[in-house]
Amino acid sequence: MNVALLHYHLNPGGVTRVMANHLLALDLACPAGERIRVAILFDGQKQGWPDDVDAQLQNVDVTYLPVQELAYDVDDRPDPDALAAALTQAFADADFPAGETIIHAHNHALGKNASLPGALARLAEQGTPLLLQVHDFAEDFRPRNYGHLRAALGSEGLSVRLYPQGTQVHYAALNRRDQDALRTLGVAEDRLHFLPNPVPPLPERPPREEARAALERAFGIGADQPYVLYPVRGIRRKNLGEFVLLSQVLQRQQPDVFFGLTLAPLNPHERRFYDRWAEVVRQHNLPCHLETGGEGGLTFAQNLAAADRIVTTSVAEGFGMVYLEAWLADRLLVGRNLPEITADFDASGLKLDQLYDHLFVPIDWIGRDAYARALGEAWTTLCSVYGRPEPSREQLDAAVEGHLQGESIDFGDLNEAQQESVIERLAGDPAASDQLFELNPSLGSFTEEPKEIVAANREVVEREYALTPSGERLISIYSDVLGSERQARLTGPDDGDRLLELFLDGRRIRLIRD
């Protein structure tokens, strides 16, 4: 079997990790006596590629094929023919026959390289079967990406260029939500595959006593103090305001609790929001430590070993690895559930009842009109970038009502300034904390000890999402794609606007996404 894994780069990031894990998964699942040839196409940058991957492979032969034309765009002048020619030449140089090699492309339509969708379509029409794996949609609150695609490719018929259809063009989705989104584009069921990310074993953890000693040396958190870990980089959609809020209100239940977030964002735009939350923590002397995995902090393995709980407050995920990894660390996961992401985990048997779907605060703490104005401004801006009509007054009113639950609103629906005002109120009014607990009784789960859930969930993760079952799933999909008939002329979605309508529904807008 010949497979070409394609991405813009191999720099640090989620897709790079997925590609490396796909190699390990294929190696473990490769049928006895067979070998799998894999070409990895990227722009030449591989600062995030694990150095030890190749040495672990026994049944997979890897060839790295740098193709400079896969780099991120620097202008709005796409050249799909040049990229298609460069890819064809790379295959020929490495002896990967076009009709016998499946291209497994990651995030082809994200708006990082506007030439890629057209180049892949040309290769498909020449007989190369495609598996287009969508990790993220440009249509899903990524206005800068989508704006670049509009500028480079034009608005008319854009979805036809981004999402080609044909018997040899298959799509892979991480979850049920994304499968439904692809169905709106007319992707046939026999060309639509469920492909969750592989979950490799976590790094070996040091003894807990050693990790707690390191935590105390670095941050002054005593060995007996509860430590709730958020193992992420603190970008906006990770909802740091809610992480800070939880530390504030749960201090009432456990006065000696400390919350830790591992890494700061690298993006300067994201950094300014992060720095403001760091200032809020200092102003109110909250039991939070930021960058517990940064310079002078603990390693990832040490943080996991030291933690008593793992928390998530994210309002948007592509796959949601934290919902699986926590159990491999033998730690209870607490915090926010994202049902549209976790529905597949739930169907596989994972128990996430201890998570909350919403964290309600009274709308009068914010002001209904103030929230409506903020939502209207955000929605109008999004519609402008995406080339959609402005929402009407009736649509805005309906969206506001969709975000409200009686006289309450989800804290995750607020913008940073509104979230900060809630924290200010709680700091100055003890009765406000009582009201918050009344609205959110599930906050009590933070102090529970349901060890049986941890063991049961670990078993589900290892059975359904570990490397070997992931490799078996991947080989089965590749076989389907390679066996597809070849269609000489590709088509496009019947109604590409339906995807935008799905993602730009005002009821889905979170003000901390941009």
**CA separation for the pair 429, 416 (Å, rounded):** 20
Q: Taking 70 as the threshold, does the pLDDT of residue 514 lie above it? A: no
Enter the tokens of residue 304.
């996991």
- Neighbour tally for 174: CB within 10 Å: 22
Going from the C-alpha of 337 to that of each of 29, 89, 448, the distances in angstroms are 32, 46, 17
**DSSP reduced 3-state for 235:** coil
Is 208-359+440-462 a domain of CATH 3.40.50.2000? yes
| Paired tokens of 247 | 């530390």
Tens of pLDDT, residues 244-289: 999 999 998 899 999 999 999 988 999 999 999 999 999 999 999 9
Q: Which fold, 2-200+467-498?
A: Rossmann fold (3.40.50)
Number of Cβ atoms within 10 Å of the Cβ of 459: 13
Strand intervals (E) in 136-265: 169-173, 192-194, 227-233, 258-263
pLDDT digits (tens, 9 = 90+) for 154-206: 988 899 999 999 999 999 999 999 999 999 999 999 999 999 999 999 999 99
Enumerate residues 6+ apart whose C-beta is below 8 A from 251: 257, 286, 287
Q: Which two tokens stand for residue 115?
A: 């030439």
Strands of the sheet containing 2-6, edge to edge, are 60-66, 36-42, 2-6, 101-106, 130-134, 169-173, 192-194
Tokens of 110: 């994200």
Evaluate whether 2-200+467-498 and 208-359+440-462 have a shared fold: yes
- Per the CB < 8 A criterion, the answer to whether 131 and 77 are in contact is no
Q: Which two tokens stand for residue 311?
A: 């928390």
Quote the CA–CA distance of 265 and 12 in Å, as a whole number. Answer: 13
**What token pair was written down for 130?**
């495609």
- The pLDDT value recorded for residue 157 is 87
Is residue 446 pLDDT above 90, yes or no?
no
The strand pairing partners of 171, in sequence order, are: 132, 192
Question: pTM for the full model?
Answer: 0.93
**Percent share of the chain, pLDDT over 70:** 99
Between strands 130-134 and 332-335, the pairing is: unpaired
DSSP letter at 182? H
- Pick from 24-28, 37-41, 94-98: least confident: 94-98
Which two structure tokens, joined as six digits, stand for 202?
Answer: 């976590």
Cα-trace Rg, the chain: 24
The length of the chain in residues reads 514
Over the stretch 310-327, which tens digit does the pLDDT of each residue have?
Answer: 999 999 998 999 999 999
> Under a CB-based contact definition with an 8 Å cutoff, are residues 223 and 213 in contact?
yes
Rounded Cα–Cα distance for residues 149 and 162 (Å) = 9
Three-state DSSP at 151 gives helix
CA 111 to each of CA 35, 74, 154, 255, 471: distance values in angstroms, whole numbers, following the listed order: 34, 12, 13, 47, 28
Q: Residue 451: is its pLDDT beyond 80? A: no
The two three-digit tokens of residue 82, written as one number: 């040049």
Query: Across residues 113-117, what is the average pLDDT?
Result: 98
Extents of the domains making up the chain: 2-200+467-498, 208-359+440-462
